[in-house]
Amino acid sequence: MKVLVYGSGVIGCYLAHVFCTAGNDVTLLARGQWKEQLQKNGLKIGHHLQRKTTLDRPRVIGGIEEDDTYDAVFAVMPYNKIRTILDPLAAIHSPVVVLVGNNMSPALMRREILDRSVCEKQVLFGFQATAGKRDHEKGMLICERVGVGGMDIGCLHGEADDSTKSKLTALFGKTGYRLNWQPDMDAYLICHLAAILPICYVAYTCNGDLTTSTGEQRKLMRMASREAYAMLRMQGIPILPEGDDQYYASGIKGIIMQLLYFGMAKWKTAGDLIACEHCRNAFEEMEMLDEDFEKVLARKPEFPMPNWQVLKAQMPGWETIRKQYANPAHREVKR
């Protein structure tokens, strides 16, 4: 099948790699120097945990070409930039568009795409747990993932129809990549921020280096997320993926999460690829997500969240963070 990946960061490039592996006709939209590197050298990915390097040759373009049609489009852009491509997404001839990544305005974006679309479309939302960074010197990506990977995906509210599920599942062929169909991606995307924002706060508190975090800070991360999930549940927001809040409670799952935090602090490469690299380079996205999540918290101002408040208070203000990480020298990973 013919598929377009709109966006060539770590997540978009890994998606393109999987689609190539499955034998699809893959187009990857990229910009600037990175586009030139991809056109010249192909899509080269170093898979960190798997200790291997892959090379694919998708078609690489710098903009939408009017006559092109696709069986599906996966748009992978940061939250603070995704609105800039809604018009191009509406202009693409494709029956399915999947917006992949953090998103606190999914209903608005879906409506804007459908209102301007040149053809009948379904707009779905997805989240892929892949981390990493670009290595411009080597002209490749470094990718951090567990197994082949997968995507939580679904409609804004309600289940996707069987035909859509079958079509998108077929895109991934026999690669082993999993599509985990969720019943309410609006709720899922809100819940995801309850998990990641406390990590973000500590990463900024520790100047982009989780190896300097304390055991108390890592405990606060889990307790803050626990409070946020409880607050969402009180608002009637379903916890998705189902049972994820148990990783922030007591018991075996809570111990697993605390060990994950410890691993991110113990091994700098893991902490950088999973969290700190994104915090350093996507500080504008993280600020916007934090502001929008605060609006969700404000719906229940009487709900006690002492750990969340303590953790966030330790972090420098967003104005300080913007000044620090706007300088590319401060975004470099120190190894």
Domain residue spans of the chain:
2-183, 187-327
What distance in Å separates the CA atoms of residue 101 and residue 103, rounded to the nearest whole number?
6
At 229 the pLDDT is 97
At 261 the pLDDT is 94
At 335 the pLDDT is 30
Helix (H, G, I), strand (E, B) or coil at 171: helix
Burial 82-95 (b: 16+ CB within 10 A, else e): beebbeebbebebe
Helix (H, G, I), strand (E, B) or coil at 72: strand
For residue 59, report the phi and psi dihedrals to the nearest 5 degrees. -70, 130
Q: What is the pLDDT along the chain (335 residues), one digit of tens a residue?
A: 999 999 999 999 999 999 999 999 999 999 999 999 999 999 999 998 899 999 999 999 999 887 889 999 999 999 999 999 999 999 999 999 999 999 999 999 999 999 999 999 999 999 998 888 888 788 899 898 888 999 999 999 988 999 999 999 999 999 999 999 999 999 999 999 999 999 999 999 999 999 999 999 999 999 999 999 999 999 999 999 999 999 999 999 999 999 999 999 999 988 887 889 889 999 999 999 999 999 999 999 999 999 999 999 999 999 999 999 987 655 444 33
At 332 the pLDDT is 47
At 328 the pLDDT is 61
CATH architecture of 2-183: 3-Layer(aba) Sandwich (3.40)
What distance in Å separates the CA atoms of residue 75 and residue 123, rounded to the nearest whole number?
11
φ/ψ bin of 132: left (φ > 0), alpha (ψ from -120 to 50), beta (otherwise): left
pTM score of the predicted model:
0.93
Burial of residue 112, with CB atoms counted within 10 A of its CB: 0-12 exposed, 13-18 middle, 19 or more buried: middle
